[in-house]
Amino acid sequence: MDDKQLVRLAQDGSPEAFEELVRKYQSKVFSMAMSFIRNKEAADDAAQEVFLKVYLALPKFHGKSEFGTWLYRIAVNHVKDVLRKQGRAKEVPLDDVREPSTTDENVLEKNVTARQAEDRKAVVQGFVQGLPEKYRTIVTLRDIQGLPYDEISRVLYLSPGTVDSRLHRARRMLRKKLTPYLSQEGGPHAL
């Protein structure tokens, strides 16, 4: 059964249809929440909240966009709210992206020594959290979640051109901060 049929059935009060939608999208929503929040319990709780919101908003969904896009939009907005409440989504001036703290550097050194791919990813993704919200969102959706451009454009209500320029700017900022750790020649912080 496709999403449209499941949504129609769920709107008519079928719990089975809604369960199927949840089972189909729970990993996508959780992964997205995890990319932003980076804490399993908090991301899981956020994913549950997202589906509660979706359940309550389902009667108002008229199918103007794909269900997945609509769900993602709710998820992104909810996760941003969660981060704002946690005070982690505070805007940072464009040229003032967070430098890694001593603790970060220690963690980084430890991870470099361990050479564990997952840890390296976690460290690099940690730098994403230091980006201003709009750049962090776009890098998370594109580079971490791997959403296509047009999907990001629909989820964030941005033109493809804005997605393009914002993503490029975000990657430039990120690279600037990561340069000491991206060195191919094996510098002190090479990943």
Partner 1 sequence: MRCKKAETMILRSLDGRLDGRAAGDLEEHLRTCASCRKAEAEYRTMVSLLKTGKEEAPLPRFWERLEPRLKEEQKLVPLVLWERWALHAVPVFVAIVVLAAGLFVFTPQTRELSQSEALLLGNANPFSETRRLFEANRPEDKSMMLIFASLDEKPAVRSQRP
Report the residue number, 61 or 80, with the smaller CB distance to partner 1: 61
Measured between alpha carbons, how far is 63 from 69 in angstroms, rounded to an integer?
A: 10
Report the residue number, 43 or 71, with the smaller CB distance to partner 1: 43
Determine if 134 is a binding residue for partner 1 (CB under 8 A). Answer: no
Determine if 16 is a binding residue for partner 1 (CB under 8 A). Answer: no
Q: Which of 3, 38, 48, 80 binds partner 1 (CB under 8 A)?
A: 48
Report the residue number, 40 or 110, with the smaller CB distance to partner 1: 40
Determine if 113 is a binding residue for partner 1 (CB under 8 A). Answer: no
Measured between alpha carbons, how far is 120 from 100 in angstroms, rounded to an integer?
A: 14
Binding site for partner 1 (CB under 8 A): 15, 18-19, 22-23, 26-28, 30-31, 34-35, 40-41, 43-44, 47-48, 51-52, 55-56, 59-60, 120-121, 124-125, 128, 139, 142-146, 149, 167-168, 171-172, 174-175, 178-179, 182, 184, 191
